[in-house]
Amino acid sequence: MRAFIDNGRGFAFGEAIYPAGGVYGPLSDRYVTLLIIHEGKVRVVCDDEETVLGGRSCGFFRNERSLSIEYSYGRPTRVSWCEGYAGDLSEALALRLRSLPSRIPLPQRIESIQRLGVELGAGSSSNLNQLRNALGESIFLAYFHEAQMSEQERLTPRSVLRARFYVDENYEKEITVDRLAALVGVTPQHLVSSFRKHFGITPVRYLWQVRAARGHFLLLQTALPISDIAYQCGYKNPFHFSRQISEQFGMSPRQVRENKGYRVASDVAEGAGDTAYGMALSDTTVLQPKESPRMTGEDPVDTIGS
């Protein structure tokens, strides 16, 4: 993260509604921007490269010379963003960033982090700035993760994606490799090898992971009897369910409920020592991030369409 963000100047979160379109920019300073389009349509020009974003999508932009954003005329647009000042890039990192897609569908994870960032407001204090910057780093890392996953899905055969989707939606049913392969139109051998190649796991092991994850969720979020949860998640008996929960989460179903999913830290569980060397830094000097470049600085054009 430190390689392409100027961490010394911090992050800024914001949101706006353009009732009938408008234009923002052009900006001439160097920014790193995560732009989220909740509703509407946007045309972004970053260093003469054009990207169009529709509703429920987000895009990553790092400009060296200029950045301008045009919100479609005559239609409402709801947009939010997280931005920072760009740092210097190595050639290898620049190549890696250019290989990522400039836009992806808006994931729930990114939307949730953005909402937290906006809710912090524009106040400034040591703790608030640290929290805002931590969220800023998190949202960009989340984008890189989601973009990589999106690229992986683009390269994954449609039959394998369909098989995974079927398991996600029908985990409680009786599913065999033969039936799954027939549903997506490939041989069982081909499905197993392709699934392992692209997801690193066989279809059967993936099915059990999905079932266990769903069971863990129901243990924490409902008061259903453990046996009912086991049957709802596709297990033939509660004993198999209990064994899998213990293997994947380190606790029995009853312990998951009693501890609300909390696992004891390793230093407590194993009695490990934790020794710090040196003196703590004094907190007499606090570096405040600069205000959002959308609020001060270059005074770009920001016109709401009529």
Domains of the chain: 7-154+293-304 (2.60.120.280), 157-250 (1.10.10.60)
Per 3-state DSSP, what percentage of the chain is helix, strand, and coil (rounded to 5)?
45, 20, 35
The answer to whether residues 243 and 255 touch, using CB atoms and an 8 Å cutoff, is: no
The answer to whether residues 20 and 73 touch, using CB atoms and an 8 Å cutoff, is: yes
pLDDT at 44: 96
Structure tokens at 207: 């099915």
CA distance 256 to 217: 10
Q: Is pLDDT at 281 greater than 70 in this prediction?
A: no
Q: Using alpha carbons only, what angle is made at residue 147 by residues 261 and 26, rounded to the nearest 5 degrees?
A: 120
CA distance 168 to 120: 35
Span 101-116, average pLDDT? 93
pLDDT at 158: 86
Span 261-286, average pLDDT? 51
Q: What residues contact 165, with CB distance under 8 A and at least 6 apart? A: none
Question: 39-53, 138-152, 284-298: lowest mean pLDDT where?
Answer: 284-298
The answer to whether residues 304 and 20 touch, using CB atoms and an 8 Å cutoff, is: yes
CA distance 140 to 142: 5
pLDDT at 186: 95
Q: Is pLDDT at 284 greater than 50 in this prediction?
A: no
303 or 229, greater pLDDT: 229
CA distance 127 to 286: 10
Bond prior to 293 in cis (omega within 30° of 0): no
Query: What is the sign, positive or negative, of the torsion defined by CA atoms of 164, 148, 25, 10?
Result: positive
Q: Is pLDDT at 279 greater than 70 in this prediction?
A: no
Span 29-50, average pLDDT? 94
Percent of the chain with pLDDT over 90: 57
pTM over 0.85: no
CA distance 254 to 236: 18
Query: What amino acid occupies position 291?
Result: E
Q: Is pLDDT at 301 greater than 90 in this prediction?
A: no
Q: What is the DSSP letter of 28?
A: -
Q: Is pLDDT at 294 greater than 60 in this prediction?
A: no
Note the pLDDT tens digit of each residue in 198-230: 888 999 999 999 999 999 999 988 999 999 999
Element (H, E) at 98: helix 91-99
Q: Is pLDDT at 232 greater than 90 in this prediction?
A: yes
Residue 117: Cβ-neighbour burial (10 angstroms; 0-12, 13-18, 19+): buried
Residue 268: Cβ-neighbour burial (10 angstroms; 0-12, 13-18, 19+): exposed
